[in-house]
């Protein structure tokens, strides 16, 4: 059987995007989107992938000439196609000068990254003489400085790391390196004035290589990637940027906005909030996956009531947008190709509950002067889970939750940032 690169030709397109990260997420998210743009004639460009850490998968991708199969699967069906937008992959650890030379090409306009949440970090020991520096922002600073020295324009920078205000954070660290390395105020001004560091929100489950499945592709592909159908990319920045990457013309769920926060709140409260609200209740009921919850009439109804009756009324986006997103969440929860184990989601449930569910409870009470019975039930089940279930959290939190009374737990301002004893009676009904 032939390798994918022997059975598929790749169009020659100008290199216009630098991508930090060769993992499944960007290949099943950004590269898939770019493929849609190129196939539809709305864009003509290719991607150079930079491996951000020393050990990675670019050698395998290069062996396949940057080609791989992407398979989308869900309740909606199954579809697949070959992604051919990656022109080449390079490693700064193998050839640092080849990496820096990317700054010499004036055609490059976009930088996209997914180096995990820990990737956008400041490492004070990174130096401009390192080949390469370890931290992703330090590598980026070196590339930007070379670009500045060339007298070329800057970039649209689209970080996809799952941290709040990812563009602002990345820019802050780059400017810190510019100061630490004494690269000059003119360079710092160039960073500020010639580059667009966009805050973004990404939402898609990319499940990577299907290791335990037999695929009948008809060719060898060691970089097969899989994902769900749903995708969302919210980009905070000047809407004129949309003309350079016109995702909307390809029918993609990409939103350019001047305010990312309502979309982040929607995702955290509905998607993540529903996960966190269901997990203790479901685990105590003997369920094991998100899909099993949706197949269970009682649990499925509980999740729907949480979302539609108690979470959506606390959000400020137009109802049709909230309703559409909530519907997509329920479809995603029912995906038969994704085994999302509740035990995995249950990690650090107390801190997750504080961020994902508690704000909905408090906002619902504030807006209606009523108690959200289903979310309050989830709070009670959370406490009960820590007392009789198998939680996975810090030893201090697990010991406290197991031994403290409901009143003591709700009064613990270290856990909740406030005293919650005013809902003690309602929560206790489900915790005991």
pLDDT for 233 beyond 90: yes
pLDDT for res 399? 97
pLDDT for res 116? 75
pLDDT for 267 beyond 80: yes
pLDDT for 117 beyond 80: no
Work out the average pLDDT over 66-85.
Answer: 97
Work out the average pLDDT over 370-387.
Answer: 98
Contact 167, 236 (CB under 8 A): yes
pLDDT for 140 beyond 90: yes
pLDDT for res 248? 82
pLDDT tens-digit series, residues 39-48: 999 999 999 9
Work out the average pLDDT over 347-373.
Answer: 97
pLDDT tens-digit series, residues 401-419: 999 999 999 999 999 999 9
Highest CATH level, class, for 261-431: mainly alpha
Three-state secondary-structure class, residue 255:
strand
- For tokens 């193998």, the residue is 94
Residue 240 pLDDT class (50, 70, 90 cuts): confident
First to last CA, the chain: 61
pLDDT for 118 beyond 80: no
Residue 310 pLDDT class (50, 70, 90 cuts): very high
pLDDT for 432 beyond 90: no
DSSP E strand boundaries for 191-261: 196-197, 199-203, 225-227, 232-236, 254-257
Q: Which of 105-119, 166-180, 382-396, 414-428 has the lowest mean pLDDT?
A: 105-119
Domain boundaries, the chain: 4-257, 261-431
- Just give the CATH number of 4-257: 3.40.50.720
**Short-list 230, 375, 382, CA closest to 313:** 375
**35-68 core/surface letters (b: 16 or more CB in 10 A; e: else):** bbbbeeeebebbbbbbbbbeebbbeebbebbbbb
Cis before 123? omega within 30: no
pLDDT for 247 beyond 70: yes
pLDDT tens-digit series, residues 172-183: 999 999 999 999
The mean pLDDT of the chain is 96
Contact 89, 20 (CB under 8 A): no
- Per the model's pLDDT, the better-predicted residue between 190 and 340 turns out to be 190
318: Cα separation from own chain's centroid: 23
pLDDT for 237 beyond 90: no
pLDDT for res 242? 86
pLDDT for 74 beyond 90: yes
């Amino acid at each position: 059987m032939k390798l994918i690169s022997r059975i598929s030709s790749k169009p020659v397109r100008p290199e216009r995007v630098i991508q930090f990260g060769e993992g499944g997420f960007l290949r099943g998210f950004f590269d898939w989107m770019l493929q849609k743009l190129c196939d539809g004639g709305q864009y003509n460009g290719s991607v150079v992938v930079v491996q951000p850490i020393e050990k990675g998968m670019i050698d395998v991708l290069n062996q396949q000439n940057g080609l791989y199969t992407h398979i989308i699967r869900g309740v909606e069906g199954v579809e697949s196609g070959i992604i051919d937008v990656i022109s080449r992959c390079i490693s700064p650890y193998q050839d640092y000068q080849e990496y820096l030379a990317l700054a010499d090409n004036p055609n490059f306009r976009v930088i996209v990254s997914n180096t995990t949440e820990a990737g956008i970090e400041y490492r004070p020991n990174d130096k401009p003489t390192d080949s390469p520096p370890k931290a992703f922002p330090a590598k980026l600073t070196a590339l930007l400085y070379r670009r500045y020295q060339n007298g070329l324009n800057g970039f649209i920078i689209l970080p996809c790391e799952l941290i709040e205000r990812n563009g602002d954070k990345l820019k802050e660290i780059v400017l810190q390196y510019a100061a630490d390395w004494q690269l000059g105020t003119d360079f710092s001004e160039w960073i500020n004035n010639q580059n667009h560091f966009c805050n973004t929100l990404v939402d898609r489950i990319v499940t990577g290589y299907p290791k335990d499945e037999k695929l009948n592709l008809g060719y060898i592909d060691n970089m097969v990637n899989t994902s769900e159908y749903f995708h969302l990319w919210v980009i905070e920045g000047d809407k004129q940027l949309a003309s350079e990457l016109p995702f909307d013309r390809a029918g993609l769920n990409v939103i350019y906005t001047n305010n990312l926060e309502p979309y982040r709140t929607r995702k955290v409260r509905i998607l993540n909030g529903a996960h966190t609200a269901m997990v203790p209740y479901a685990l105590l009921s003997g369920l094991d996956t998100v899909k099993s919850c949706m197949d269970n009439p009682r649990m499925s109804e509980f999740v729907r009531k949480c979302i539609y009756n108690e979470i959506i009324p606390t959000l400020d986006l137009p109802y049709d947008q909230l309703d559409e997103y909530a519907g997509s969440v329920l479809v995603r929860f029912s995906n038969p190709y994704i085994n999302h184990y509740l035990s995995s989601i249950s990690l650090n449930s107390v801190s997750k509950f504080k961020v994902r569910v508690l704000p909905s409870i408090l906002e619902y009470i504030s807006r209606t002067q009523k108690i959200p019975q289903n979310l309050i039930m989830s709070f009670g089940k959370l406490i009960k889970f820590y007392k009789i279930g198998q939680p996975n959290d810090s030893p201090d939190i697990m010991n406290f939750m197991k031994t403290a009374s409901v009143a003591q737990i709700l009064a613990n301002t270290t856990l909740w940032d406030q005293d919650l004893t005013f809902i003690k009676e309602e929560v206790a009904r489900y915790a005991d």
